[in-house]
Amino acid sequence: MPFFRCLALALLACTTPVHAFCGFYVGKADAGLFNEASQVILVRDGNRTVISMLNDYKGEPTEFALVVPVPTVLQRSQINVGDRSIFDRIDAFSAPRLAEYHDDDPCSRRELEIMKLRRMAPASAMMDGAIYPHRSLGVTVEASYTVGEYDIVILSAEQSDGLETWLIENGYRIPPGASRALKPYIRLDMKFFVARINLQERAKTGLTYLRPLQFAFESEKFMLPLRLGMVNARGPQDLIAFILTRNGRVESTNYRTVKLPANMDVPLFVRGEFNRFYKAMFDEQAKREKHRVVFTEYFWDMSWCDPCAAEPLTPDELRKSGVFWLNGDDGQGGASKVMLTRLHVRYTKATFPEDLMFQETADRENFQTRYVLRHPWMGKAECAQAAAYRESVRTRQQIEATTLASLTGWELGTIRTKMGMPAQPEAKWWERLWN
């Protein structure tokens, strides 16, 4: 069950193939591929943070509730209802992508040089007046606002069972375990951002979906809360975090952060089933890591891309995402650089017992989950080098097949059949023994 949905439901029941980032873009795999994976945009510079949360709740509006731990009491001016399309744009820009090349005539001088280079480099390169503080429960309503279609209260609490009782008495259905999940945040003296839908205000919008909630605050902690979202999780969940910073790549400090396998040649038939390929690849990698790592799917300077799955966000779109330094609000004249790190986490209660903590690194090396199709030359080739070229294509296709099997766990024989390759000879008994 997606992370932010759980937060709600927890309270309810180029030129040559050797170059790493060139090619003709032909497809992408967006966040929607992962069963409506929770998505969050996190903007961070210094101790200033802006969080945008995309709510994918699909139940009755009256049943929606969102609880997020925050470091301080938020003022009305720190909360905003955002534009859902920003998530679509940033997802499209950073999505895993498929690129393709076409081999040139192997008899051309240029192709001879490329073949030399290939041998030198690898391919993989709510609240109304009816709610009051319940001091006997140790709960205080620090502030309450109506923002767009949401009624919002900011709560502080002295004990988790008191907070649980307060929520139940005010119409929230709390599943077993909520008190235990709330306790660590109370121990850290954090506040609780609680939102539900104002039906009258929602009707005024004319929208059938919930817009993202955004809030800005200052905190020394660079983090995202996960634990509260796992109260009633029944299996692995997916979270995709788009993190916008000024200088470098972002990684987790309390979980291992690894880059997904990328920049590999895959068989041509993947062109027609890229989504299926990418989902299988991610499933396989997450399983191999036992759901214990944070995967980097993308890191890039947002002023450009190669190949582009979508155009970079405009300055106005970046501001709507929460990038405050483009306004010059940081006292430094509003530097234009914005770096995007896309992290993908598949986690369970057991494998991610702590909230996600982050740091911005000095690493500025571009990275994207990019996979490559290479079309062989289909014209006449009658020069002395043609035979060597054809043999290199056969070798390349063998590697593509084994690469795809390794990435996805798919059966190698099935892959070879789909590629139109001859069946592999049956392995000798001693080969089966050692393998």
- The pLDDT, as a whole number, for residue 85 is 94
- The pLDDT, as a whole number, for residue 51 is 96
For residue 349, tell me if it sits in a domain.
yes
- The pLDDT, as a whole number, for residue 18 is 35
For residue 155, tell me if it sits in a domain.
yes
- The pLDDT, as a whole number, for residue 345 is 96
| Domain region containing 236 | 3-13+20-428
For residue 434, tell me if it sits in a domain.
no
Low-confidence ranges of the chain (pLDDT < 50): 1-22, 120-135, 330-335
The count of domains in the chain is 1
- CA–CA distance, 433 with 179 (Å, rounded to integer): 54
For residue 237, tell me if it sits in a domain.
yes
Chain Cα centroid distance, residue 34: 10
For residue 433, tell me if it sits in a domain.
no
For residue 435, tell me if it sits in a domain.
no
- CA–CA distance, 276 with 287 (Å, rounded to integer): 16
CB 212 within 8 A of CB 94: no
Pairing state between β 370-375 and 264-265 = parallel
With CA atoms as reference, report the closest residue to 192 among 228, 230, 219, 150.
228
For residue 369, tell me if it sits in a domain.
yes
- CA–CA distance, 151 with 64 (Å, rounded to integer): 11
- The pLDDT, as a whole number, for residue 128 is 39
With CA atoms as reference, report the closest residue to 71 among 192, 230, 245.
192
For residue 177, count CB atoms less than 10 angstroms from its CB and return exposed for 0-12, middle for 13-18, buried for 19 or more.
Answer: middle
- CA–CA distance, 422 with 215 (Å, rounded to integer): 58
Residue 374 pairs in a beta bridge with: 101
Q: Mutual orientation of helices 386-408 and 274-288 as an angle, nearest 10°?
A: 60
- The pLDDT, as a whole number, for residue 212 is 94
- The pLDDT, as a whole number, for residue 114 is 56
- The pLDDT, as a whole number, for residue 173 is 61
- The pLDDT, as a whole number, for residue 214 is 96
